[in-house]
Amino acid sequence: LKEKHKILHRLLQDSTSPVDL
């Protein structure tokens, strides 16, 4: 699940990380 949701997972770990808007 984590593999398929890399960005969501990253946001959970660090919500300040960029999501390339």
Q: Cα angle at 15 between 11 and 17, to 5 degrees?
A: 90
Q: Cα angle at 21 between 3 and 7, to 5 degrees?
A: 10
**Which residue, chain included where needed, has tokens 């997972």?**
9
Q: Binding string, 1-21, against another protein, x = CB under 8 A?
A: xx-xxxxxx-xx--x---xxx
Least separation, in Å, of the C-beta of 8 and another protein?
5
Phi, psi of 20 (to 5 degrees): 55, 60
Number of residues that bind another protein (CB under 8 A): 14
Least separation, in Å, of the C-beta of 14 and another protein?
10
Interface with another protein (CB under 8 A): 1-2, 4-9, 11-12, 15, 19-21
